Structure 1
Amino acid sequence: MQPNAADDSASPFKLLLSCPSGLYPSQVSVVFDASFDRIPHPDVQLENSISEIWNRKSQHSSLLFNGSKFRYAGHSSSNVADSSQVASACLHLGLTDYRTFVGTNLNPMWEKFIVESQDECSRCQHTSNPLGNGAVVETSDKRILVLQRSNNVGEFPGHFVFPGGHPEPGEVGITAHQSNQDTELINKMISQEMFDSISREVVEEIGVPAESLCTPIFIGLSLRAINVRPAAFFFIKCNLPSEEIQQLYSSAKDAYESTQLYIVPMSELESMASNMPGCHQGGYALYKLMLDAMK
């Protein structure tokens, strides 16, 4: 973990990795392996609470469904020679699912799943830790897109967020670990899904056409202190102006996940960021570090 001002224990987030210069798809790789899956908790009663919570929530919500997710279990990175600038990053990913996420990270007793350790991955070995994603999208007139979440979502309803969701194992045909799979090909497919998925989320949540978006640039990883929720953040330029994007939003495929789209200048973004979930506050901090590096 790279040291930064947000690593204070009282902070709503930690920056796990900061890439202020931004990394393109060729600079981001993945190692996908069963060794990065969650380890069941030795407390049987606590472990059984995962199923109990899911069954209870399923009975009260027809919108709830399970699905596979990539589990974040750490990363490695290399720097440009004689520099602190990150040259490449490799994400270590396993498999988990939404049911286990609800029963561990989102469990009212989530802190009981945490192991005392200075190493973040060891600390979270019993939690689901699905890797989320978020995008700081800049319009052609230099404004940033921020959504207000609806009450239909499972996490932080009503809060401001950047567009985002999750990279999806199903998009690259992964349903389980297989011993006979082409490891190198799978890793490359997942690495590409990291970038494809965030563009897909922006298209579905905002309503802009895919061709209006530039290639996403990976700017780092943040972790929400509450529920130890990890997320990868990207910077994306959109070649459309604010007014046109606002019109397109009304017909967005996943507009039900939000109640309003705000398109704001940097001067307004900071106050909105303070009302974001911790992982998205971390995304804002990564964006600020990127802007500082560009000066």
Structure 2
Amino acid sequence: MFKYQIHHVIFSCLNYRTFVGTNLNPLWERFLVSSEDDCKQCQHTSSPLGNGAIVETVDNKILVLQRSNNVGEFPGYLVFPGGHPEPEEVGITSHKYENGLQNSELSNSKVSQEMFDSIVREVVEEIGVPAATLSEPLMIGISRRVLNVRPAAFFFMKCNLQSAQVQQLYSSAQDGYESTKLYTIHPSELENMASKMPGCHRGGFALYKLMLEAGNNIK
């Protein structure tokens, strides 16, 4: 069931126009189906699986971006670096392949790997740090916005650079145009910033807190 849901959210939107016309439509609630099953509830919306990363530098700072006012979704909001997996990276270019994917172990493996590969790409492109400075992503959970019902997978990664070094690299990040500022903040400051984040990123912060609590309980 988990693999089916991952396929559904990754491949339910293959173009931005469809996403704008459903999830970002002012009347988005009219597209929802009354059901406790997420897949059924969102069957008429375009809900690609987003992703986000809580990245911790070697001096224990967390990276948070302020989105540009020129982006279409949540302009000016604070977010963790992220984006979404790319269907094209696993050879998916249209919906007609979806049924075959659900029965293919090889395709399941490719989709799962793309979830982890894509978040590394997003951090590298949005922050400017080399991939070699990042630890392997640890998936900490999936959150979903109440507003526009978009799900997002969240990951935790460590970066072996100082926060000052990250700030220098950010100035030449490939996708730096998507944001206007990079904050490097102590984890204790995240609570205040979370109120200025979209719902799924507030959910990512909640997942991060659960991860920290679990780690403290193990100690």
TM-score by length of 1: 0.68
In structure 1, C-alpha distance between the alignment counterparts of 2:100 and 2:138, rounded to whole Å: 32
Is the aligned partner of 1:165 residue 2:83?
A: yes
What is aligned with 2:206?
Answer: 285
What is aligned with 1:153?
Answer: 71
Which blocks of at least 5 consecutive residues in structure 1 are unaligned? 1-28, 38-69, 73-92
Is the aligned partner of 1:96 residue 2:18?
A: no
When structure 1 is superposed on structure 2, of 206-215 and 111-120 the one drifting more is 111-120
What is aligned with 1:58?
Answer: none
The higher radius of gyration belongs to: 1
In structure 2, C-alpha distance between the alignment counterparts of 1:292 and 1:96, rounded to whole Å: 35
Question: In the alignment, which of 193, 204, 213 is matched to residue 272 of structure 1?
Answer: 193
What is aligned with 1:255?
Answer: 176
Task: Answer whether contact 2:11 2:87 (CA < 8 A) is retained.
Answer: no
After TM superposition, give the deviation of residue 180 of structure 1 in Å: 7.0
Distance 1:30 1:187, change over 3 A: farther
Q: Secondary structure at the match of 2:34?
A: coil
Amino acid at match of 1:277: P
CA deviations 1:162-218 (Å, max 9, x no partner) are 000010011122113347778221111111000000000000000000000000000
When structure 1 is superposed on structure 2, of 119-128 and 135-144 the one drifting more is 119-128
Is the aligned partner of 1:227 residue 2:115?
A: no
TM-score by length of 2: 0.91
After TM superposition, give the deviation of residue 117 of structure 1 in Å: 2.2
Amino acid at match of 1:287: Y
Q: Secondary structure at the match of 1:228?
A: coil
In structure 2, C-alpha distance between the alignment counterparts of 1:292 and 1:112, rounded to whole Å: 38
Question: In the alignment, which of 15, 34, 51 is matched to residue 133 of structure 1?
Answer: 51
Amino acid at match of 2:81: P
Q: Secondary structure at the match of 1:147?
A: strand
Question: In the alignment, which of 197, 208, 220 is matched to residue 118 of structure 2?
Answer: 197
Greater helix share, structure number = 2
Question: In the alignment, which of 243, 258, 264 is matched to residue 164 of structure 2?
Answer: 243
- Cα RMSD of the aligned pairs, angstroms, is 2.0
In structure 2, C-alpha distance between the alignment counterparts of 1:277 and 1:147, rounded to whole Å: 12
In structure 2, C-alpha distance between the alignment counterparts of 1:118 and 1:173, rounded to whole Å: 31
What is aligned with 1:123?
Answer: 41
Greater strand share, structure number = 1
What is aligned with 1:55?
Answer: none
In structure 1, C-alpha distance between the alignment counterparts of 2:82 and 2:34, rounded to whole Å: 30
What is aligned with 1:208?
Answer: 129
Amino acid at match of 1:222: S
Is the aligned partner of 1:113 residue 2:31?
A: yes
Which blocks of at least 5 consecutive residues in structure 2 are unaligned? none
In structure 1, C-alpha distance between the alignment counterparts of 2:137 and 2:2, rounded to whole Å: 17
Task: Answer whether contact 1:30 1:190 (CA < 8 A) is retained.
Answer: no
Is the aligned partner of 1:31 residue 2:37?
A: no
